[in-house]
Chains A and B, each alone.
Chain A
Amino acid sequence: MSTATRPARAGAWLLAAPALGLLTAFLVLPYLNMVVMSFRTPSTSNVFAPGFTIANYVDVLGDEDLYYLKILWETLSLGFVTTLICLVLGFPLAYHLARSRSRWSALLYAFVLSPLLVGVVVRCYGWIIILANNEGLINSSLRQLGWIETYIPLMYNWVGVTIGLVHIFLPFMILPITAAIQSIDPRLEEAARSLGASRLTAIRRTVLPLAVPGIQAGSILVFVLTISSYVIPVLLGGFNVVLMPTLVVQQLLDAMLWPFGAALAFVLAIAGTVVVWLYLVLTNRLIRGVTG
């Protein structure tokens, strides 16, 4: 048996080799480089000075006003909120997409994917036209209707950033959940209803727990994309919304403090990983019977 599988396994390694090589060259190595960079001594005249230090991390974590930790917390919070809104908006849509046999569902698919079809900058300017504080579509309409005097602040704050992020990341939530629901037998809902469950209870007790793997995948995608997003917070948040990626870019490109920027980026990566791991540990309890 083992002798028969050995050549097959060698073949599998060969097949995976190009992808592994690519990942090593363009992901693992740069990441390691960044970790090393974060321990280098900062320099004002060079990328870094000779020698290694933990001073960068002390600066990030030990700042007297907890400035960087506060930004980290706000970044993670934005991640939670965006993920939650995407989940609440996305689940019903995903359910509909998975269960609908209508000829219009193809069109709905196209709508769901449409945020991905336009470049991020173009999409942001679209939102600016709608949300802008004085002459934006919403505020000027409300003012003409006489419902407001000045304007509702929809941009250059957390509201605008959250709207923009939800818009672009919604497909990343909907698609995995749709795939998960499609693999759930519709007869399960009928069985639940034959046993006395209302339509919503049937979905809550059968579809929702069985769709947890899809919800996990979608949530992780949206969360990770949100806490690492840069363009949307900058364009829709302006100077009022400062997130970890914004800080990292400032350190790397404006202040040229590569070791400090690397330390900031690494702290964000660690924090994000911990959150995702905690999330998986907690949600895996919900799917005890389905896997393993």
Chain B
Amino acid sequence: MTRVAIERLTKRFDDTLAVDALDLEIGDHEFVSLLGPSGCGKTTTLRCIAGFEEPTSGRIAFDGVDVVDRFPEERNIGMVFQNYALFPHMTVRENLAFGLEMRGVASAEIERRTRRALEVVQLGDFGHRYPRQLSGGQQQRVALARAIVIEPAILLLDEPLANLDAKLREEMRFFIRGLQQEVGITTVYVTHDQGEAMVMSDRIVVMFEGVADQIGPPQEIYNRPATRRVASFIGQSNFVAAEVVAREDPDHVRLTTPLGPMRARFSGETPPGAKFDLVLRPEAVAVTDDAGGDNTFRGRLEERYFLGNQLACRLRTEDGELMSLVAPPWLAAEVGAELVGHFAADRTWLVAR
């Protein structure tokens, strides 16, 4: 329905730079998450798209039309707030009807669309209730219905699941993603929860201190992080200091590391002398008997935690580093045992140090 183009978006509050020259293209029907720690500028970016913050500089266009000078009410957006912001003095039906009233929709049509939207969020019988008579999850769905009933050009969600309990949060991820696919609406989703972003998004924008370190699909963000802070923010990572010795082929390089010579997958630029960190995901490291193979290192088992389907382990390597790895739950080694860790070159990546 709508493409969003953000060019060099910058927002400064007094002395702090909240968003620093962000470039982002969002395609039709696309679900894009803005992910990052609190204070990274993700909410500010969303509020600039909505029109609640005025960018210091830069351009925001919907379908090629610059909207920076438009008021929020002129942008045809649907927004879901973290605390839902339901109108407490209106019933659920009146909450949903509000946006349609503002658009001058006829009352019979309002009735029809309101009822349909309530059915979509499975709250068909709740139209006459007031928000305070609903549970948190139900309020969340009302907020969602209120945002989509006006058939907006863009759906904006500001941490909508943050106030729900863990189980409901898990369910709502799939619900919102399913709804977005069904309605086919361009969506921008702000969250600090990487799990949410992974499950729901077509692409993720990982932001730190106002800068988008990486923009890409979840697999790419996880498997080929662009920076060290992306790698450490998304999932768990072991970092091993590494220096590139030579390029083997377009996708692989030879390294020297404190753990010994290693092979790693990396297709990025490797200027001579550049220092890298080898990113090793715990689940990419396995315990092996083959001490002489490629990409192996020795260590003493220092911690082990039984998690049911797996055993989380920490090995102290010979040069004193702690390496996290995931072992099968039946691994019989006790704390203090000497183990050999191994990883496949294709499950690694390099980030600049």
Contacts and interface: CB of A to CB of B under 8 A. Distances in A.
A196 B89 contact: no
Contact of A187 (B77, B78, B81, B90): B81
Given A185-B83, A205-B98, A289-B130, A194 B88 contact: no
B78 A194 contact: yes
* Size bracket, chain A contacts: 20 to 34
B102 A201 contact: yes
B72 A194 contact: yes
B297 to A, nearest CB: 52
Contact of A191 (B51, B76, B81): B81
Nearest to B102: A196
A197 to B, nearest CB: 5
A290 B85 CA distance: 14
B299 interface: no
Given A196-B150, A205-B98, A190 B72 contact: yes
Interface string B91-124: 1000000110011000000000000000000000
A209 B50 CA distance: 25
Contact of B52 (A188, A190, A197, A289): A190
B189 to A, nearest CB: 15
Nearest to B133: A289
A interface SS class: helix
A192 B81 CA distance: 12
B88 A196 contact: no
B85 A195 contact: no
A193 interface: yes
Contacts of B102: 195-197, 201
B72 A193 contact: yes
A184 to B, nearest CB: 9
Interface string B58-101: 00000000000001110011110101011111110000001100
B72 A290 contact: no
Contact of A192 (B91, B98, B156): B98
B73 A196 contact: yes
B342 interface: no
B112 to A, nearest CB: 18
B88 A290 contact: yes
Contacts of B203: none
Interface in A52-87: none
Contact of B99 (A196, A206, A210): A196
A159 interface: no
Contacts of B50: 190, 194
Given A185-B85, A201-B102, A195 B150 contact: yes
Nearest to B147: A194
Contacts of A193: 51-52, 71-73
B91 A289 contact: yes
A199 B146 CA distance: 19
Given A193-B73, A194-B72, A194-B73, A210 B89 contact: yes
Nearest to A184: B88
B89 A289 contact: yes
Residue of B79, B86, B87 ringed by the most chain A CB atoms within 10 A: B87
A141 interface: no
Contacts of B86: 191
Interface in A116-154: none
A66 to B, nearest CB: 43
A289 B99 CA distance: 19
Interface of B: 50-52, 71-73, 76-79, 81, 83, 85-91, 98-99, 102-103, 130, 146-147, 150, 156
Interface of A: 185, 187-188, 190-199, 201, 205-206, 209-210, 287-290
12 contacts: A185-B83, A190-B85, A193-B52, A194-B72, A194-B73, A194-B78, A194-B147, A195-B73, A195-B98, A196-B103, A198-B71, A209-B89
